[in-house]
Structure 1
Amino acid sequence: MVQQFKAGMNSCNLFWEKVATDWHEFLPIFTHTSVRLSRTVFRELFYVKWSAEGSNRREKEEDTMYQWECLLMSIQGKVLEGETTDITFEELLTFATGADAIPPLDFPHKCSIEFYDQEEGSCRLPFSSTCALVLYLPRGIAQEDELRDLLTFALKGSLGFGKV
């Protein structure tokens, strides 16, 4: 079977010979070499879909994103100090994308953060679309603890894929 695999790879412009020669370049693709995510790496995975600048919605989104940044710094600080955290970058990544590590060939496109409005008298939890790679956060979060509590409940309270 190994010989068939090599022959199949070589049928594409001698690809297996290239892999065998420059194996160190292909190591991240053919082996699982995930490392703990850092705040910087995690942040670079996402872009923010903002409302129009100067609007009330934009102002509320900026409040939420400030608390999001505070939360990410808090997680990073605890990781560096060797403390346990309620939420890890890997759990946030899994919640937003369905993957607990960055794929070897990266995601097909950048993940995004979008916003929704909380309805009066109710509390809607953050949610995601793992197919579209979108994390939805509520607008107007003014306290880091409030965002942490909402995300913790959403992450820990979800059943996950195939766990019904």
Structure 2
Amino acid sequence: MDALQNSTLFEGPTTSRILTLNSHAIQRDKYYLAGVMVAIDLVHGGPPPMFFSKLLFDMLVFGPENVHPTIEDIPESEFKQSLNSILQADTLKNLRSSMEANSSTLTLAGCFHHVRSIEDKVPLIRDMIKWYCLERTRTAFDRFKSGLQTLGVLATIQSYPESFRDCLMFTNIKLTAISMEDIFRPCVSPTGSNRRTVEDRLVGYWRDFLQDAEEGATVVTLEHLLIFATGTNRVPPLGLSPSPVLSFLHEEEGGGKFPIANTCGNELKIPIHPSFEMFKENMEFGILNAPNFGRA
């Protein structure tokens, strides 16, 4: 799913992708294979894609003929620059001049024709958007849709769109103490060892610290903590890779008063202190004194 999200089959923001036109991919039927991959992934309980734009989702559910794309659905590109240039024309003379300057783009979209008034730019813009978002990628969309029919997935999506919306479209879920516990899995020593006894106590401190952060009882927020440990302030659509780990700064391994993070490996190492008050104080100090936290 991660490879598919970042493939040349899609374009636009990573959390709101639309299909793009890739002739090589069409020749090798990669759009169909992409649809099959998503279908099998959903059936087998894999990580949901969560990168479809609202436009792409609505096209799959309601059909391209029943959606109405806007200029916001078009990723930043030369085509969008041409659209904005025409949209900003405030006189007939300026409109014709802008159309002439963007004649190659308009000809490609089949929209280069004579305009008689400034009001003609409204249907012109609408036709250009429709061509870019719907007609240009129709072959790619049809093959992607055919792939999604695998195992009856597309029909199920169309029957229960609200149940699949959060699986296919990105939702910026608010961080909570519980979700942070789920994100950072403790890497603990064997049961019965002296190290495990210490680690179990620290896990308790860690959970209390998360709860305080959620309730605003610390100067550190859950977002601060996630950035400190992973480099991102929200969990990506397909989750964090590698999976985040919570480990411990035992004295025999160098110890330390403050937390240490490896953002490449998504590892957070927490310090060992005899009381929760000391743990909390040093966690706050260590995180807030990291680059860009609490400092100009």
Q: Partner of 2:169 in structure 1? A: 27
Which residue type is aligned with residue 107 of structure 1?
L
CA RMSD of aligned residues (A): 3.3
Q: Please say if 1:91 is aligned against 2:224.
A: yes
Q: Please say if 1:143 is aligned against 2:157.
A: no
Secondary structure of the residue aligned to 1:13 is helix
Instruction: Tell me by how many angstroms 1:8 deviates.
Output: 2.9
The verdict on how the C-alpha distance between 1:123 and 1:7 changes in structure 2, with shifts beyond 3 A counting, is closer
Aligned partners of 1:118 and 1:124 also within 8 Å: no
Q: Partner of 1:155 in structure 2? A: 287
Distance 1:142 1:110 in 2: 29
Identity %: 22
TM-score (norm 1): 0.74
Instruction: Tell me by how many angstroms 1:97 deviates.
Output: 0.5
Q: Which digits, 9 at most, give the CA deviation of each residue in 1:16-54, with x for residues without a partner? A: 9965314945431xxxx4232011111111111111221
Q: Partner of 1:6 in structure 2? A: 20
The range that moved more, 83-92 or 45-54, is 83-92
Q: Structure 2, unaligned stretches of length 5 or more?
A: 1-10, 13-18, 36-51, 62-160
Secondary structure of the residue aligned to 1:137 is strand
The range that moved more, 58-67 or 122-131, is 122-131
Please tell me whether Structure 1 or Structure 2 has the larger radius of gyration of its CA atoms: 2
The verdict on how the C-alpha distance between 1:123 and 1:129 changes in structure 2, with shifts beyond 3 A counting, is closer
Q: Partner of 2:234 in structure 1? A: 101
Q: Which has the higher contact order (CA 8 A, sep 6+)?
A: 1
Q: Partner of 2:196 in structure 1? A: 58
Q: Structure 1, unaligned stretches of length 5 or more?
A: none
Secondary structure of the residue aligned to 1:7 is coil
TM-score (norm 2): 0.43
Q: Please say if 1:127 is aligned against 2:269.
A: no
Segments of 4+ in structure 1 off by > 4 A?
14-19, 22-25
Instruction: Tell me by how many angstroms 1:70 deviates.
Output: 1.4
Distance 1:55 1:84 in 2: 33
Aligned partners of 1:61 and 1:115 also within 8 Å: yes
Aligned partners of 1:118 and 1:138 also within 8 Å: no
Distance 1:26 1:114 in 2: 33
Distance 1:118 1:56 in 2: 13
What is the aligned residue count?
Answer: 148
Aligned partners of 1:64 and 1:142 also within 8 Å: no
Aligned partners of 1:115 and 1:138 also within 8 Å: yes
